[in-house]
Structure 1
Amino acid sequence: MTNPSLLVPYYEHPAERPEAWSALVDAAPTLYGVVLNPASGAGEAPDPAFAEAAGRLRAAGVRLLGYVDTSYGRRPHAEVVAELLRHRDWYGADGAFLDQVATAPAALPHYRRIAVAARAAGAATLVFNHGAHPDPGYEAQADLLVTFEGPWDTYRTLDLPVAAHYCHLVYAAPAGFRPATPVHCAVPGTGAHPWGTLPHLLEPAR
């Protein structure tokens, strides 16, 4: 694998899974980016273990995308922007992964404002995780749109649009499976916390 194609949302603490975070550093050339999610967002105070892991990834040339839940447009603009700034200031995030992004056109003005503020705050890469195919108006707001997030059993039954700026995140995936989009992630994890596992290719030996 030569293209940086893996967008990895890895939601485990570096102090508890140091070998997995080292595997991410080692895999730097294959990574589109890593989503930083210390506490369902940036948290209330800097986490030294996450700051150290983020520094290692940054030194390896990996994009760091700060996780922010936007609650499908219900979370106030100021809260979203404040959390983006904490990711930047505490962990050196140079991008943002906005989760639970709305798909309907009615929420577009809200997300345009967030996108402008994120860029002004230094987010060179902006990812919108819709989890489903959104209104076309969102395509101009972000660098990457996650147009599917869900289990492999569902994914394999769908015929989804594919574009260079779309990303599919698939869990409960079998070894060797790769989603159709150029940027993607497929992990073996299941249940309520599937993103506590690395993609098959990056899982360190035990």
Structure 2
Amino acid sequence: MTPETYLPDKKKDPMLLVPLYEHPAERPEAWERLIRGADRLHSVVLNPGSGPGAARDERFASVAERLREAGVPVLGYVDTDYGRRPHAAVVQDLLRHRDWYAADGAFLDQAAADPELLPHYGRLTVAARAAGARTLVLNHGAHPHPGYVELADLLVTFEGPWDAYRAAGAPPPWTADHPAQRFCHLVYGVPPGEIAARLAGALAAQRGAGVHCAVPGNGPHPWGTLPYALETAG
């Protein structure tokens, strides 16, 4: 059965991890839709300035508080630069997210995928837990060495455009040893409309990802848009 013919019931669609990289003052309606869609959300990535920013931003603090009150984990965005960023700089960002926005999770972006850096990411995940991260996400953007699955609650094993996602092959066999809720796919450039959005969810489910986000945004800043289901929410 192809994904085009397998369009699952909405109640069975993967949960949404949403990286909304827009300031609440500039896109207040998008943040309102995000908060209203709390029951569909796995988590939300908070990214005030390619990380926590240089100082606490009251508007981001406000939306983070409202998301937590709605039961949605708030993940502080931290760039790891594929293992090149110093440990101390990553930890500083983790602590700022905790202290400024009460983030209860961490989204470690540009995570390396090769086994040689497993010890480095092991130390980072220990630091993230010590900083209060109850939900820890590693964004590899591709399937990493299987050893990484032991470090985090969720691995992002695909990030890329819609055409590449549709053409992607089956996941590696080792992923079948773990629940779908341990894997996430992030897709941008998805055509607008319910059919494409449902197809994206079907592909994620078929490929063993219990969490996903598929947005219409494209270009250098695709994560300024919401998934179709949230964009059209009342």
Taking the aligned partners of 2:170 and 2:86, their CA distance within structure 1 comes to 31
Taking the aligned partners of 1:127 and 1:35, their CA distance within structure 2 comes to 10
1:2–1:30 contact (8 Å) kept in structure 2: no
Unaligned runs of 5+ in 1: none
| TM-fit CA distance, 1:204 | 4.7
Given the alignment, which residue of 111, 116, 127 partners 1:106? Answer: 116
Given the alignment, which residue of 166, 188, 193 partners 2:221? Answer: 193
1:130–1:147 contact (8 Å) kept in structure 2: yes
Structure 1 residue identity aligned to 2:44: V
In terms of mean alpha carbon deviation, does 74-83 or 153-162 score higher?
153-162
2:83–2:120 contact (8 Å) kept in structure 1: yes
Please say if 1:168 is aligned against 2:190. Answer: no
1:15–1:49 contact (8 Å) kept in structure 2: yes
1:19–1:204 contact (8 Å) kept in structure 2: no
Change in CA separation of 1:198 and 1:112 when aligned onto 2, cut-off 3 Å: same
Structure 1 residue identity aligned to 2:186: L
Given the alignment, which residue of 136, 141, 146 partners 1:136? Answer: 146
| TM-fit CA distance, 1:160 | 3.3
Q: Give the TM-score of the pair, scaled to structure 2.
A: 0.85
2:51–2:76 contact (8 Å) kept in structure 1: yes
Taking the aligned partners of 1:86 and 1:2, their CA distance within structure 2 comes to 36
Given the alignment, which residue of 48, 62, 65 partners 2:75? Answer: 65
| TM-fit CA distance, 1:193 | 0.4
Q: Alignment identity in percent? A: 67
After the TM superposition, list the runs of 4 or more consecutive aligned residues in structure 1 that deviate by more than 2 angstroms. Answer: 1-4, 174-177
Corresponding position of 2:92: 82
Please say if 1:32 is aligned against 2:42. Answer: yes
| TM-fit CA distance, 1:205 | 7.0
1:2–1:29 contact (8 Å) kept in structure 2: no
Corresponding position of 2:212: 184
SS in 1 for 2:108: strand
RMSD, matched Cα: 1.5
Paired positions, count:
206
Taking the aligned partners of 2:113 and 2:170, their CA distance within structure 1 comes to 15
Structure 2 residue identity aligned to 1:108: L
Q: Give the TM-score of the pair, scaled to structure 1.
A: 0.96
Q: Which has the larger radius of gyration?
A: 2
Structure 2 residue identity aligned to 1:98: L
Which of the pair is proportionally richer in helix? 2
